[in-house]
Structure 1
């Protein structure tokens, strides 16, 4: 896809002030789209990106922000549902309130933002929704029970939304990143007893031997959002260094 492959399109990215969301917003802009970033900290966003405050756990906040984005951009062609929160622990470790909070952001946040954007997407000739899912939706990872449950729901929701809206010419896909070198992962590593050993373990479980970069995930999102993927819907694109599908033999010594 050329660097102006999204020229004239209008994109909204939730959770776009840092990590994967920031990389995605910048990549969409670099490919010619006008981009509004919806985030709890919009002051972290600089022009030409448009920063708008949103709390995806609050429906009124979402509706207000989406309408403001549509007004600022002159419509919405692309929605990237990227806002999310993490959680560590087994099924024993997270209290009910944390379960409610994570599901409210990671799952209902996608519902609220998409619901608010649909009237605008229906008016677009190139409508696309891309949800940020996770390898945790398809592989059993230790100490990620709550997070995995939320991303499993995002995967199923993506497929259902794709079926519901395909005849409205709205494509819906998701990306399934492996462990990405983002600020959130950095905070998890900082909290580990031995951060260096923990980072090495995370790198080792991906066949490429390294963490995924935010830019690599952003490139996949840009593709799925673009007219170049006009026949792609209901698809989960893994950006995980081979983690989901490869089973390597131990390296020879």
Structure 2
């Protein structure tokens, strides 16, 4: 079950954190993985690690906010092998209310988290249609459906990801393209560790515990847990699922409401 053998998967932001966990999980399931990331060195290291473990992986330097770059890299991949899966994972975070979010902050979040998803959808969907279908998985957030303090621009962007997911799922039903999204709560990634080190020097362990306890289940998710859900949703076993948002949140949405 959950085999991705003979499938080609493109994963944006696949060089670290959740994206890297998804890339490794997909490679273990037999997929030919293409890591699309702004950090070329990190992307190549991730691809090399996957190859060293016996998987198939390639790296591509791309700024997802640049539509032509997205079109070009997708075209190069498609010229060598058919594309079956797109995981729109690349994104950045931001802390602030509407009053503390500058126009530059807002534009940056929109450019990467919203336009970046659109650009990759725009680049990949024609190839999926030509191949007779495929799967798209977008990374949303619990912030898409809940009001989170000090996350104005970030919540805006993830709300857009959720509704783009629904729109794409409906528009491409007849093209055999499924589109879903995952909405994680807090996930323990290097980003979290860096955030704590920068903002709470000397109190990292204390604040990590505090943030963990905000999840009803009592801990943060691990990137591999997101990878496991992503694998299911992109596998043939999930063939009856489209237009759905999957909270992976330790009970955060339902048990906090």
Partner of 2:7: 9
**Cα deviation digits, residues 192-235 of structure 1 (max 9, x gap):** 23333321221111111001010000111111111110010000
Q: Does 1:164 align with 2:157?
A: no
Deviation above 4 Å: which 4+ runs of structure 1? none
Residues 132 and 146 of structure 1, relative CA distance in 2, 3 Å threshold: same
Contact 2:44 2:58 in 1 (8 A): no
- The whole-number CA distance in structure 2 between the counterparts of 1:199 and 1:166 is 42
Q: Does 1:199 align with 2:190?
A: no
- Aligned to 1:245, the other structure's residue is in SS state helix
1:65 Cα deviation from its structure 2 partner: 1.2
User: Which moves more between the two structures, 6-15 or 41-50?
Assistant: 41-50
Q: Does 1:155 align with 2:162?
A: yes
- Aligned to 2:79, the other structure's residue is in SS state helix
User: Which moves more between the two structures, 110-119 or 189-198?
Assistant: 189-198
1:166 Cα deviation from its structure 2 partner: 1.1
Contact 2:216 2:252 in 1 (8 A): yes
From 170, 183, 187, give the equivalent of 2:194.
187
Contact 1:54 1:65 in 2 (8 A): yes
Partner of 1:230: 239
Partner of 1:173: 180
1:69 Cα deviation from its structure 2 partner: 2.1
Q: Does 1:210 align with 2:219?
A: yes
- The whole-number CA distance in structure 2 between the counterparts of 1:104 and 1:59 is 11
1:179 Cα deviation from its structure 2 partner: 0.3
- Aligned to 2:169, the other structure's residue is in SS state helix
Q: Does 1:76 align with 2:83?
A: yes
- The whole-number CA distance in structure 1 between the counterparts of 2:178 and 2:194 is 34
- Aligned to 2:180, the other structure's residue is in SS state strand
Partner of 2:252: 243
Contact 1:85 1:106 in 2 (8 A): yes
TM-score by length of structure 2 reads: 0.91
Q: Where in structure 2 are the equivalents of 1:46-125 lying within 5 Å?
A: 46=48, 47=51, 48-72=56-80, 74-125=81-132
1:28 Cα deviation from its structure 2 partner: 0.7
Residues 224 and 6 of structure 1, relative CA distance in 2, 3 Å threshold: same
Contact 1:126 1:227 in 2 (8 A): no
Q: Does 1:23 align with 2:21?
A: yes
- The whole-number CA distance in structure 1 between the counterparts of 2:14 and 2:105 is 23
Contact 2:139 2:183 in 1 (8 A): yes
TM-score by length of structure 1 reads: 0.93
1:68 Cα deviation from its structure 2 partner: 1.9
How many matched pairs? 245
**Cα deviation digits, residues 150-171 of structure 1 (max 9, x gap):** 1011111111111111111100
1:123 Cα deviation from its structure 2 partner: 2.9
Gaps of 5+ in 2: none
Q: Where in structure 2 are the equivalents of 1:26-37 lying within 5 Å?
A: 26-37=24-35
- The whole-number CA distance in structure 2 between the counterparts of 1:162 and 1:143 is 30
